[in-house]
A and B are shown apart, each in its own frame.
Chain A
Amino acid sequence: DAKTTQPPSMDCAEGRAANLPCNHSTISGNEYVYWYRQIHSQGPQYIIHGLKNNETNEMASLIITEDRKSSTLILPHATLRDTAVYYCIVRVKTSYDKVIFGPGTSLSVIP
């Protein structure tokens, strides 16, 4: 089973911020939180990752709670092209051992 839980689906209006939550209550101190997304019929695409500080890049922002048991991915201005399945995973220290992506959150951006 995946080590994270996410809502199965969410809707977001185009142009608004999309906030995607993830629970990872059993995360270890040396595990990072990663976010990927999968647009229909394509391979997953890396978005962002973090350990305990909030992170921002050109695609999104990642907010990690102080106890690290949950996080939120923020797409600041969602577009129709952001419609995808979003996966939150936690990684063990040195590799992708035991990592399972899924089932993720299916985000629909609505015009």
Chain B
Amino acid sequence: DVKVTQSLRYLVKRTGEKVFLECVQDMDHENMFWYRQDPGLGLRLIYFSYDVKMKEKGDIPEGYSVSREKKERFSLILESASTNQTSMYLCASKDSRAGTQYFGPGTRLLVL
């Protein structure tokens, strides 16, 4: 089975702090994604990566950056957290050929 791991399930930060969320997948997938989930809005794509050190902006990249130094690991960075970034963050990975994305359990971030 594909496993996508987000080790932090809950995180509380203060406004202006740096936030680092990590995602690890164990299936050698080329493509990885970061989404945020908000009630009534579904999931919105923040950034994605199609290879090591390669990244593309999604629909809502403002206030976020990403890093992909190794194929299995895709990190989401909030350089200076703001209260409007309080949300559930979901990571996903996908084989470059297949259509199915596999999701991690999510990290619920609260910015005070």
Is A bound to B?
Answer: no
A interface residues, Cβ below 8 angstroms from B: none
